[in-house]
Amino acid sequence: LDAVDAGAVVPRFREHGYSGPSAAGGSEPVPILETTHSAGRGERFVVGVLWNWLGVGAGLFTGLLLSPYLIRKLGPEAYGLWALSFAMVEYCVFLDLGFRSATVKYVAHYWATDEPVRINEVINTVLVYSGVISSLLFGAIFAGSAYLDRFFQISASYTHSFRILVILISLSWCLGFVFNNFAASLEAVQRYDLSTKPAIITTILRASGTAVLLYQGYGLVEIGILVVLSQTVGYALYFRGFRRIFPELRISTRYAGLGTLRKMASFGIHTFVANISNLILNQSCPLLIGHFRPAAFVGYYTLPMRLLLYTGDAVGRAGVITNANAAELQARGDTKVLPELAVYTNRYCVTLFMPLAILFWTYGDRILQLWVPSMAPYSAPLLPVLLSGYMLGVIGQHSSGMLLQGLGRHQLYARGLAVEAILSLGALVLVIPRYGILGAAWVTCISMILNRGLFAPWLVSLEMGFSFLPFLRSIYAWPFACAVPPMALAFALRMSALPGGSWRQIAVLIVLIASSYYGLALFLCLPRAHRLCGPGSDAGFCTGIRRRRRSGTAGRIRGGAGPCGTLEKLHAG
């Protein structure tokens, strides 16, 4: 692992005792999760996902409650300026250059190898870089804010307020660019409780404070000041949390160095390429729709996409945990567990999201009709198309990309995203004028499946040393098989007792679909050892593994009777 210091992780898993099939065609059983430490890691993984879900839930809940009130109190133009200010400042993420992912990678690595001096070098180096960039950026925005009215159509009554608001939001972003490195460090050491609690506190302070200010009749500038103050509280809590678990923390420029900066940059540049590609993939389609079609069609397209992003975000948070876990496992040389991480995180993401997917596939048009009836005729045909690509390309393989990133083997994955962005951009230019937003949805769907749904898992299977098609089957086969009875039930209910004409019927459908699906998935998608886990269980994960070992089945990755089969089958290719 000395190659990490050069910014590239060279060793393969076989060099750490990770073996494939024997020459005779058999395969040596691969022991999995053998130690109490590994069992604790499994528990931390689940707890980390739950804390991330809690943070997502807090933001989603307050956003759904606050947004209508914000629009009503501010008015259409002021609300548009509010959204525009955040959209402008968010483009500053280009300046990150992948250093946040590098911080997670190297803090996790040196935490696992117990090297506090190296951790201080990483943190202080990224603090110096982000501090210098933030200072220059804020100065440039402050100077350029006087000319904003030349680029945007702003009424005279809002010109001054918009300028002040952009300065305030930029200040908050620049502070976050520096202090969010402590949040990244907390994620690296898998203390998601300490990284999520400040986010929840900040969300509550900002939401409740905004509601009070709006009720009192205040406007954009006052809300902008509140954003800065509430975010500052969160940044202070991030610092306090990391200082508490890492008392060896020293903030000094003497720990910062060009060598550490180059090492982090060589790792982060590939994440930077991936982030830029994702930004193009997410933003190019709405922009091109706005160019070729009336502006209303942008909303028709983004509505179903936002619905998928909002509901899928909680499931995708498992990828954040996968990143840090992969880095830790690699640092400890415990790479025998990585095949399980590759299979189960993706499979469980599909399993968790599947009831919502069934609901959207069968009742998506009815939900949109209840939610936004004026836009439903245009948006409803797009939902099943976008959902198919999102399910296979994002939900089912998000952890694959994060796993490669955690291992430092994401160079080809980043290039794949860049190629997807370029080809999608060209295809959209040709398709949108001829086939409209439905054609754009098909381009998005196909590109997601080909790259993130097929190329990314191929890279993971290549890295792990097992066969590609069995790997895909181990992820998707049982989750989709379990979906057949609930989907048939949903179609039957749509044609009879529950046509989906009210929110009450939709709520009943959610309960029926989720209970029937998860009842099957519990026994077919989860291996027996995972079902033995539970809060307060004395046996825990390792008990199930030991029982399998004594019965001579150690090393198998099973999903019930499992098409996932065994590690031996995955290695057969």
The pLDDT score that the predictor gives to residue 88 is 63
In this structure, what token pair is assigned to residue 204?
């509550």
Could you tell me which residue, 61 or 527, shows the higher pLDDT? Answer: 527
Compute the average pLDDT of residues 223-232.
88
**129-145 pLDDT, tens digit each:** 888 988 888 888 888 87
Confidence of residue 517 (pLDDT cuts 50, 70, 90): very high
Name residue 418's amino acid.
Answer: A
- The answer, yes or no, to whether residue 198 has pLDDT greater than 50, is yes
The pLDDT score that the predictor gives to residue 107 is 87
Q: How far is CA 18 from the centre of its chain?
A: 28
Name residue 200's amino acid.
Answer: I
In this structure, what token pair is assigned to residue 127?
């603090």
Contact 118, 263 (CB under 8 A): no
Could you tell me which residue, 23 or 341, shows the higher pLDDT? Answer: 341
- The answer, yes or no, to whether residue 49 has pLDDT greater than 60, is no
The pLDDT score that the predictor gives to residue 163 is 85
Q: What angle do CA 111, 113, 119 make, to 5 degrees?
A: 40
Could you tell me which residue, 385 or 173, shows the higher pLDDT? Answer: 385
- The answer, yes or no, to whether residue 570 has pLDDT greater than 80, is no
The pLDDT score that the predictor gives to residue 539 is 39
- The answer, yes or no, to whether residue 304 has pLDDT greater than 80, is yes
- The answer, yes or no, to whether residue 371 has pLDDT greater than 80, is no
- The answer, yes or no, to whether residue 90 has pLDDT greater than 70, is no
The pLDDT score that the predictor gives to residue 183 is 86
Name residue 33's amino acid.
Answer: L
* pTM metric for this prediction: 0.61
3-class secondary structure, 488: helix
Compute the average pLDDT of residues 395-400.
82
Compute the average pLDDT of residues 3-8.
34
- Tokens 């939001």 map to which residue? 169
Compute the average pLDDT of residues 177-196.
83
**305-364 pLDDT, tens digit each:** 877 877 776 666 665 666 566 666 666 666 667 777 778 888 888 998 899 899 999 998
Could you tell me which residue, 491 or 538, shows the higher pLDDT? Answer: 491
The pLDDT score that the predictor gives to residue 485 is 94
**How many secondary structure helices (H) and strands (E) does the chain include?**
21, 0
Closest CA to 541 of 119, 33, 117: 33
**533-557 pLDDT, tens digit each:** 554 444 334 444 344 444 443 334 3
Could you tell me which residue, 542 or 84, shows the higher pLDDT? Answer: 84
d(CA 321, CA 341): 10
d(CA 139, CA 112): 39
Report how far apart, in Å, the C-alpha atoms of 60 and of each of 110, 179, 180, 277 are.
34, 23, 21, 25
Q: What percent of the chain has pLDDT over 70?
A: 69
The pLDDT score that the predictor gives to residue 102 is 82
Compute the average pLDDT of residues 36-62.
56
**403-455 pLDDT, tens digit each:** 777 676 777 888 888 888 889 989 999 999 999 989 999 999 999 999 989 99
φ, ψ for residue 317 (rounded to 5)?
-65, -20
Could you tell me which residue, 80 or 5, shows the higher pLDDT? Answer: 80
Contact 47, 191 (CB under 8 A): no
d(CA 120, CA 107): 9
**244-260 pLDDT, tens digit each:** 888 888 888 888 888 88
What is the per-residue burial (b if ≥16 Cβ within 10 Å, else e) of 55-84? bbebbeebeeebeeebeebbeeebbebbeb
Q: Positive or negative CA dihedral for 279, 281, 285, 291?
A: positive
The pLDDT score that the predictor gives to residue 55 is 58
Q: Mean pLDDT for the chain?
A: 75
Beta strands (DSSP E) in 115-189 are none
The pLDDT score that the predictor gives to residue 46 is 57
Other Cβ atoms less than 10 A from the Cβ of 290: the count is 15
